Structure 1
Amino acid sequence: MPILLLRGKAPCAAFLSSPSQHRRRAYWISARQNAGRVHATLVESANDTSRSAQLIQWLYNHGAPQQAVEIQEVVQEGNSLDITTAARDLKQGDLALRIPEHLIITLDRVFEDEALAELLTTNKLSELACLTLYLMYEKKNGKQSVWYEFIKELDRVQGRGLQGAKSPLLWEDEQVQEYLAGSPLIGEIKERLKGIEREYDELDTVWYLAGSLFKSYPFDSPTEAFSMNLFRQAFAAVQASVVHLQGVPLSKRFALVPLGPPILSYSSTSKAMLQYCRETREVQLVADRSYKRGEPIKAWCGPQPNRRLLLNYGIVTDDNPYDRLALTVTLPHADSLFQAKRAVLQQHKLATQQTFQLQRGKGLPEMLLPYLRLAHCTDSESLKQASLDTCCSAPISAENELTVLHQLASHLQSCLSRYRTTAEEDEATIASTSAGPRQKVAARLLRIEKEILNGAMREVQSLLDDSDPVEETGPSVIPVRLS
């Protein structure tokens, strides 16, 4: 299905047209994954300049300095991808990427009025929606647009990162339900799609409000020019490409940077960041380590869990230290001790509905068991014994502790039972030569989520094994809810 904006001036085609067959093209003939790196052999044909060289030449023609990176096309498991690689050997501290401010698309460039930009993004549209609409109209200008070469590359990559998958916002609903079965990401996808639809419904309002922006486009109003489906595709592609700049005005904080993501690979552990330099008025990327020529350049994606990375960029990083799963505990209002428990919780800046984060290799959240012990107190005397100070928190009674641990184990087991695949099946999908990029990134995410849940389950089971035996008392009389 075509993605991003309109091809030429046709109202329902892709964002960018395909490159001419007479252009010189560079292909990576073989590619394999090894320790997170793509290794490939580059073979060039004999004519003209390659498509990637045209984008870099466009940068140079418009005043960009010499870059230490280049775009290489790789064929990975049958999928053709563009990636930003080192154009020469780089040392730690070298400037890998330098893009002048005038070659970066931000809201102040779109609106040329910071007040208008803030008004629209505060009351009507998100920054991403505004950038999306701007590029959709720029595409309709075809080769007359100053951004033509940049837009062409955005359409080429279609929001795909190095793993070759698009955001699940662009998957078929059946694929979302099948590949991500059991994951809380399914609910997040539905909410994000609803948000995109709400923004689509506001496009015409913004069109009339921002006359200073759209007067240069002799086209129909947005909802007449672009379908909801096309806007969704464009939005997802812009979302995968946008850079969040720090220390800049609000109108500059979301930026589309040539040679940046998604062709610039994101990493959860890299220390390199795309940053705005006030002195040179450009976005820079400083290498955080040495790179060999041809090696993919990586930048930090921020403290985002893999669910967010997959939703935004279509990638999953196996070494992500920010992965987590939410566990929410809700105290019932019908509990006769509800007010007393709330008072204790408020002293510790906790609420009667509290969310805890389960993480890989970090055990149970330190406040989870103390909170649950208090939640399951059945009388005032036991409530007095409940301590939320982690330094001195201890079981209140054998009965209370077993109630807490059994409920927690039951909840974790229920979460695990929602998945249709086992961890072993996920591993097989990841290693399969027949599985597609979407199946593989989904399997990577599910494997990590199950690892988090199984780790928590092992700790709970260990505590159960060490508990003093008591007579079974049945379900708790306090209907504390875990979700």
Structure 2
Amino acid sequence: MRHKRVSSALAVSETARSEQLIEWLQDHGAPQQGVSITEVVQEGNTLDVSVAARDLQAGELALRIPDHLVITLDRVFEDDTLAELLTTDKLSELACLTLYLMYEKKNGRQSVWYEFIKELDRIQARGQMGAKSPLLWDEGQVDEYLAGSPLVAEIKERLKGIEKEYAELDTVWFMAGSLFNGYPYDIPTEAFPLKLFQQAFAAVQASVVHLQGVPLSKRFALVPLGPPLLSYSSTAKAMLTYNREAKEVQLAVDRSYKKGEPIKAWCGPQPNRRLLLNYGIVTDDNPHDKMALTVTLPHADPLFQAKRTVLQQHNLSTQQTFQLQRDKGLPEQLLPYLRLAHCTDADSLKKATLETCCSAPISPENERTVLHQLASHLQERLDRYRTSCEEDEATISSTTAGPRQKVAARLLRIEKAILRGALEEALRLTDDRDEAVRGDARTVPVRLSS
């Protein structure tokens, strides 16, 4: 049964406003949904969450959003060629979708997307843990809360990218003139300040769904009742998919749900730093967490060409990135690569292959050098963090820390666990733990970086 439409703007509760989104979907031809929206209090914030509207069995469709109620580039531009041109030449799909919704928002209640845009505004790129994307954190909070994490540089790089795309918005205006004929407003950079565009971009980024098996112009989709209303999980099996026959985006649940239980969908193979950047969330049981360790052979190495030949035989390069993961030990090829990289004997190198480096150290001196550099590098990365593990745990369990501090502490705890695990393995392999960490004055011809 539909909810009675609220015609008065007076004393409209947050839940009633959310119910209007479901009513809007039904009014525009969507079938009855297996989800409803409820309010929860998370870390002091009141959030909207999609929950089971009734008891659901595994495989049952909880979400069915018709094609005409899903915002994709082919719907925005009504021209696949133009959509692909814009997104491969100047702007990303997210920037184009953001610009479209910003102009639609200016149309207010006249926009067909009014209820959907209103919900995106209320959510404000805030994930189910109560934290916004770090793209919207207050000045200085990224550097303070995430100090030592590689994510700090990624956030700043993403903000630069958004600023660069903002500078290109007017290109869309002029190339897609027919699209904007219905908007009696100024060109983008005059109609919207950069700060407003950043906020809208983050909201779209936190809400977009990556559909598989569809044309390029449909792969990025904004789905009403989808994320961030729909909770993302790193371990769920259910995922939003496009059904060509039904011409709708669907979510079939992967397990049974009781009425009122939050519905979860798989967020894809994204590490937590990406989840925090995009959705403001960190999942403690994420199996895709990793930290990069890049090894670079300098051109000044007298054996550079010979080493490159050996590496090429194994489809490796002279700048190779390895991924450290929790509870996985050291990457299989990391030590063999470092042994080869630190080889200083031309005769030994002629006999060396990655297989022989895997089976045993090249020499005691080579092995000490390898383990010393690896352990020193890992310890140095751990030392970059301003907080201890105990301080992270205290923040996570604190009743006064905000949601941004808490998700940051969760991420730092995971990153440190990955680095500590790798460091402990390197120390286990060396004869002298103190020497491995402290190091000596020897200059090694190999650079390690994060």
Distance in 2, matches of 1:182 and 1:473, equals 22
- Residue 107 of structure 1: aligned partner: 73
SS at match of 2:39: strand
How far 1:394 sits from its partner (Å)?
Answer: 1.4
* 1:162-213 Cα deviation digits (max 9, x unpaired): 1010110111231001000000000001110110011000011111111121
* 1:17-67 Cα deviation digits (max 9, x unpaired): xx93422554xxxxxxxxxxxxxxxxxxxxxxx111111000000000010
Q: Would you say the 8 A contact 2:336–2:358 is kept in 1?
A: no
436, 440, 456: which one aligns with 2:406: 440
Distance in 2, matches of 1:368 and 1:108, equals 45
Distance in 1, matches of 2:423 and 2:234, equals 26
Q: Would you say the 8 A contact 2:333–2:358 is kept in 1?
A: no
165, 177, 184: which one aligns with 1:211: 177
- Residue 149 of structure 2: aligned partner: 183
How far 1:124 sits from its partner (Å)?
Answer: 1.0
Moved over 6 A (4+): none
Distance in 2, matches of 1:368 and 1:291, equals 44
Q: Does 1:324 align with 2:290?
A: yes
SS at match of 2:37: strand
SS at match of 1:364: coil
- Residue 20 of structure 1: aligned partner: 9
Whichever residue aligns with residue 288 of structure 1, its letter is: D
Counterpart mapping for 1:447-462 below 5 A? 447-462=413-428
Whichever residue aligns with residue 183 of structure 2, its letter is: Y
Counterpart mapping for 1:77-88 below 5 A? 77-88=43-54
Tell me the number of residue pairs that the alignment of Structure 1 and Structure 2 aligns.
440
SS at match of 2:182: coil
- Residue 381 of structure 2: aligned partner: 415
300, 305, 324: which one aligns with 2:266: 300
How far 1:136 sits from its partner (Å)?
Answer: 0.1
Q: Would you say the 8 A contact 1:366–1:390 is kept in 2?
A: no
- Residue 32 of structure 1: aligned partner: none
Q: Would you say the 8 A contact 2:93–2:220 is kept in 1?
A: yes
Whichever residue aligns with residue 20 of structure 1, its letter is: A
SS at match of 1:215: helix
Alpha carbon RMSD of aligned pairs, Å?
Answer: 1.8
Q: Would you say the 8 A contact 1:385–1:396 is kept in 2?
A: no
SS at match of 1:321: coil
Counterpart mapping for 1:389-408 below 5 A? 389=355, 392-408=358-374
230, 233, 249: which one aligns with 2:215: 249
Q: Would you say the 8 A contact 1:387–1:394 is kept in 2?
A: no
Q: Does 1:369 align with 2:335?
A: yes
* CA gap 1:225/1:25 in 2 versus in 1, 3 angstroms: closer
How far 1:461 sits from its partner (Å)?
Answer: 0.8
Distance in 2, matches of 1:312 and 1:116, equals 26
How far 1:387 sits from its partner (Å)?
Answer: 2.9
* 1:211-246 Cα deviation digits (max 9, x unpaired): 121111110000000001110110011000000000
Counterpart mapping for 1:155-166 below 5 A? 155-166=121-132
- Residue 5 of structure 2: aligned partner: none
SS at match of 2:36: strand
Whichever residue aligns with residue 87 of structure 1, its letter is: A
322, 325, 330: which one aligns with 1:359: 325
* 1:76-117 Cα deviation digits (max 9, x unpaired): 232110111101111111101000000000000000000000
Whichever residue aligns with residue 342 of structure 2, its letter is: H
Distance in 1, matches of 2:402 and 2:443, equals 48
Q: Would you say the 8 A contact 2:34–2:54 is kept in 1?
A: yes
- Residue 40 of structure 1: aligned partner: none
- Residue 302 of structure 2: aligned partner: 336
Q: Would you say the 8 A contact 1:373–1:386 is kept in 2?
A: no
SS at match of 1:211: coil
Whichever residue aligns with residue 303 of structure 2, its letter is: L
* 1:258-279 Cα deviation digits (max 9, x unpaired): 0000110000000000000011
* 1:437-480 Cα deviation digits (max 9, x unpaired): 0000000000000000000011011101389x99x994445421
229, 233, 248: which one aligns with 1:267: 233
SS at match of 1:276: strand
Distance in 2, matches of 1:473 and 1:285, equals 54
Q: Which 5+ residue runs of structure 1 have no aligned equivalent? A: 1-18, 27-49
Q: Would you say the 8 A contact 1:370–1:386 is kept in 2?
A: no
SS at match of 1:232: helix
Distance in 2, matches of 1:131 and 1:258, equals 14
SS at match of 1:464: coil
Distance in 1, matches of 2:351 and 2:440, equals 23
* 1:103-156 Cα deviation digits (max 9, x unpaired): 000000000000000001110110000000000000000000000000000111
Distance in 2, matches of 1:430 and 1:83, equals 22
Counterpart mapping for 1:67-106 below 5 A? 67-106=33-72
- Residue 104 of structure 2: aligned partner: 138
Point out the more displaced range, 365-374 or 77-86: 77-86
Identity of aligned residues (%): 77
Whichever residue aligns with residue 54 of structure 1, its letter is: Q
349, 362, 372: which one aligns with 2:315: 349
Distance in 1, matches of 2:332 and 2:357, equals 10
How far 1:384 sits from its partner (Å)?
Answer: 3.2
- Residue 3 of structure 2: aligned partner: none
Distance in 1, matches of 2:308 and 2:432, equals 30
Distance in 2, matches of 1:478 and 1:415, equals 18
